[in-house]
Amino acid sequence: MTLFLKMSLASLAFAALQVVMRAAGDSTLIRRLQERDPKALSEVYDRYGRLVYSIIYRIVRNPSLAEDLVQETFLRIWSRAASFDAEKGAIGTWVLTVARNRAIDHVRSTDGRLQAGAMDLDRLENTSLFAQLGTDALSLDRMRRLQEAFQKLTPTQRQVIDLAYYEGLSQTEMAERLKQPLGTVKTWTRSALKLLRDELAGVAIA
């Protein structure tokens, strides 16, 4: 099993470029989604479809299942757009979060891991949270910083990040999986997140 984030510099540069390309026009797009303009969903797909598929595929590792979950993600975006604050909206952050959560939900349910998780994720998709972020959350500057910060993580730090983001494991579950004391796992996680946070500090989210 690949536990580490595979990040070739080329793919990172490409991802960062994609972010710039889709930076503008979120609030209009959200308003059109709320007005039930199907072309707006088509645009959301054009902007984020590849990333949504990539994130889901990274989690489920199965192309046809990934397609099912991409469809589910966009259906959810379509059916819940009404609750989004079009003035401030950072629709990309919401879309990517919904995508990750759909895939994690699926993995958890097939693992037989507790159903309560599904409700958690649902609540964490509350759109008001994303409305506060502004559209620069995925700015090129931030992405470049984050990319550099990632290079500084140790293999164990990357491993715990990977388990939390792409396998949806809690620290207790990580400790079991890695056969390490909980305290050790917590230290790795805390230090990894602190490093990433600190590197981003100073790059403001508008």
Q: Which string of b and e fits 74-107 if b means at least 16 CB within 10 Å?
A: bebbeeebeebebebbbbbbbbbbbbbbbbbbbb
Burial class (CB in 10 A: 0-12, 13-18, 19+), 145: middle
- Calculate ∠ Cα 193-198-204, nearest 5°: 115
Nearer to other proteins (CB atom), residue 3 or residue 133 = 133
Residues 153 and 189 sit within 8 Å (Cβ to Cβ): no
The 24-43 site mask, x for binding other proteins (CB under 8 A), equals ------------x-x--xx-
Instruction: Rule CB under 8 A: say whether 169 interacts with other proteins.
Output: yes
- Classified as helix, coil or strand, 140 is helix
Show contacts with other proteins in window 115-134 (CB under 8 A).
115, 117-122, 124, 129-130, 132-133
Q: What is the DSSP letter of 136?
A: G
Q: Which of 19, 29, 91, 185 binds other proteins (CB under 8 A)?
A: 19
Residue 124 Cβ, how far from other proteins at the closest point, in Å?
5
Per CB under 8 A, 178 contacts other proteins: no
Q: Which of 165, 177, 180, 184 binds other proteins (CB under 8 A)?
A: 165
> In the complex with other proteins, which residue's Cβ is closer, 109 or 154?
109
Q: Quick check: 89 binds other proteins (CB under 8 A)?
A: no
- Residue 13 binding other proteins, by CB under 8 A: no
